[in-house]
């Protein structure tokens, strides 16, 4: 099972700054291991961010996003205590959702 994400959400004025750190290999499918065998592609393909249950960002990603990805988003009209939920899904069908409150 995938490790939890680390979500930081801080309010500045009425803008929530959201930073998300994910644990994922983000294998491109182009690299070879030490025996010269191709390492199969394994990467996150969609990332969604919801604020209080309402979708605010829908992202699609490829294998060229760095390993253990870091994303930063900004959402207007948020306030402290609001709930941020982030979900990712990868090409192997694995997925994970984590939540945090805006501080």
Where do contacts with other proteins occur on this chain (CB under 8 A)?
1, 3-4, 6, 15, 19, 21, 23, 25, 28, 30, 45-46, 49, 51, 54-78, 89-96
3-state secondary structure of 93: coil
Minimum CB distance to other proteins, residue 100 (Å): 13
Minimum CB distance to other proteins, residue 37 (Å): 14
Which residue lies nearer to other proteins by CB, 37 or 54? 54
CA–CA distance from 1 to each of 23, 33, 61, 75 (Å)?
A: 11, 23, 20, 30
Minimum CB distance to other proteins, residue 41 (Å): 10
Count of all residues that appear for the chain in the document: 103
Minimum CB distance to other proteins, residue 98 (Å): 11
Structure tokens at 12: 């500045």
Which residue lies nearer to other proteins by CB, 6 or 99? 6
Q: How far apart are the C-alpha atoms of 38 and 68, rounded to whole Å?
A: 20
Structure tokens at 45: 């393909």
């Amino acid at each position: 099972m995938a490790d939890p994400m680390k979500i930081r959400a801080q309010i500045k004025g009425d803008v929530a700054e959201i930073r998300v750190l994910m644990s994922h290999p983000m294998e491109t499918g182009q690299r070879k291991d030490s025996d010269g065998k191709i390492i199969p592609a394994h990467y996150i393909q969609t990332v969604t961010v919801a604020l209080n249950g309402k979708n605010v960002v829908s992202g699609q990603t490829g294998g060229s996003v760095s390993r253990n990805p870091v994303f930063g988003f900004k959402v207007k009209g948020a306030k402290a205590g609001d709930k941020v939920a982030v979900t990712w899904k990868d090409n192997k069908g694995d997925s994970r959702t984590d939540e945090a409150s805006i501080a």
